[in-house]
Amino acid sequence: MNKKGFIFDLDGVIVDTAKYHFLAWQRLAKSLDINFTEEENEQLKGVSRVRSLEKILAWGNKTISKEQFTLLMAKKNEEYLSYIAEMDSSEILPDIPKILNILIEKKQGIALGSASKNARTILDRVDLKKHFDAIVDGNDVSKAKPDPEVFLNAAKMLNIEPADCIVFEDSVAGVEAANTANMISIGIGNSNVLGQADFVFRDFTEISEEFITNLIKK
Ligand code: B16
Ligand code: MG
Q: Render pLDDT for 112-152 as a digit per residue (tens, 0 to 9).
A: 999 999 999 999 999 999 999 999 999 999 999 999 999 99
Residue nearest to atom 1 of ligand 1 (CA): 116
Q: Render pLDDT for 73-123 as a digit per residue (tens, 0 to 9).
A: 999 999 999 999 999 999 999 999 999 999 999 999 999 999 999 999 999
- Region class of 141: left (phi > 0), else alpha (psi between -120 and 50), else beta: beta
CB 151 within 8 A of CB 162: yes
Q: List residues near ligand 1 (CB under 6 A).
A: 9-12, 21, 44-49, 52, 77, 114-118, 138, 171
The pLDDT > 90 percentage for the chain reads: 95
Q: Which atom, in ligand 1's list, is nearest to the CA of 77? A: 15
Residues 11-33 have a mean pLDDT of 96
Residues 154-169 have a mean pLDDT of 98
Residue 44 backbone phi and psi in degrees, to 5: -95, -5
Q: pLDDT at residue 1 above 70?
A: no
Confidence of residue 38 (pLDDT cuts 50, 70, 90): confident
Distances (CA, A) of 12 to 2, 81, 209, 212: 28, 17, 21, 20
The pLDDT > 70 percentage for the chain reads: 100
Neighbours of 128 (CB within 10 A): 21
127 a catalytic residue: no
What pTM did the predictor assign? Answer: 0.95
Taking the CA of 44 as reference, the closest ligand is: 1
Distances (CA, A) of 142 to 137, 138, 156: 10, 8, 16
